[in-house]
Amino acid sequence: MSDALPLATIDDQAVEIRQPNGALLMRYVFRPDTAASEAPRPYAHPVCSLAGEVLTNFRPNDHPWHHALSFTITSLAGRNFWGGGTYRSGEGYQDLKNQGTQHHVEWLSQTPEKLSHVIEWRAGEEVLLREVRTLTARIESAQTWSLRWQAELENVSDQALTCASYHSGEGLSGSHYTGLQFRGARDLLDEHGDDSIGIFASPDLQGEKAVHGTAADWMEWRARKDTTLRRVTLRFANATGPLHWFVRRHNPLVAFPFHYDRNYALLPGAVLRIDHSLTFTDQ
């Protein structure tokens, strides 16, 4: 569909993408005021379906540092950009007060279809990464809209930066969450005996146990919302090949890890490129 997407600038903290009828699709907060312990970063919340179903959860009581839809790196040069406690092998989770922050610098594009801006990833006053982030929204049909999340993250420091998860860096098996994070509304994966609700991935994987940690081109949440009883499908895909997905059914949470069982080294001047898509369908 080619209908224009109205864009409303709310204030100096956030912008909104709306449908032609004025209904909200997404509010993107580019200057957050979240606590330092939560690794402040730009985030999208709420993210809604075309029918108005709220799909994200911001600062849930079990993990307040899960900021709806946001991009994170669990450990970057030893700094925690995911938020919350920092895991150390043999010591468990510790409050090290080592969280990093992401700072909006300037807009490059602010149109209904495309938001693009520069972000600095900071450890205290030191800038480690300079990111150009581009979010592209598109209405695909009367039931579906998509969001493409692209980023180029350049190492602007004078040192090699190690990107690690607690799986790759600290040996905590299965804890390979890092990268783009989607914390969903609590009712998304309540199954109540319905086999059509749950987690699915290419080519024919089904269930959290089968999908978590398995490389696949895409994965889906097929869900049914409270109150309206409307069914929704959320598809997560990576443009550059299979990912070892991180998924938690009962939070619910999905993350797009850009590395899996080994740390990822980013040399000075090197660029990490991210290209993901999320598709939201009412049924």
Q: What's the pLDDT at 192?
A: 81
Helix (H, G, I), strand (E, B) or coil at 169: helix
Strand order in the sheet with 43-47: 7-9, 14-18, 24-29, 43-47, 69-72, 179-183, 253-256, 246-248
Please classify residue 230 by burial: count the beta carbons closer than 10 Å to its beta carbon, then call 0-12 exposed, 13-18 middle and 19+ buried.
middle
Residues 167 and 173: beta-carbon distance below 8 Å: yes
Percentage of the chain surpassing pLDDT 70?
99
Please report the pLDDT score of residue 160 as a whole number.
98
pLDDT of residue 262: 96
Query: 7-282 has which CATH code?
Result: 2.70.98
Burial class (CB in 10 A: 0-12, 13-18, 19+), 106: exposed
Closest CA to 263 of 99, 76, 31: 76
Q: What is the pLDDT of residue 40?
A: 98
pTM to 2 decimals?
Answer: 0.96
Average confidence (pLDDT) per 10 residues, the chain, 283 residues? 67 93 95 98 98 98 98 98 97 96 96 92 97 96 97 98 97 96 96 91 96 97 96 98 96 97 97 98 96
- Spatial contact of 86 and 93, defined as CB atoms under 8 Å apart: yes
The Cα-based distances of 139 to 57, 125, 148, 235 in angstroms read: 22, 40, 12, 15
Q: What is the model's pLDDT at position 132?
A: 98
Q: What's the confidence (pLDDT) of residue 1?
A: 44
Domain boundaries in the chain? 7-282
Angstrom CA distances, 216 to 151, 204, 236, stand at 21, 10, 10
Chain Cα centroid distance, residue 38? 15
Q: pLDDT digit string (tens) for 205-223?
A: 999 999 999 999 999 999 9
Of residues 255, 246, 100, 237, the one with CA closest to residue 174:
246
pLDDT value at position 4? 63
134, 42, 32, 29: CA torsion to nearest 10: 50
Q: What is the pLDDT of residue 3?
A: 59
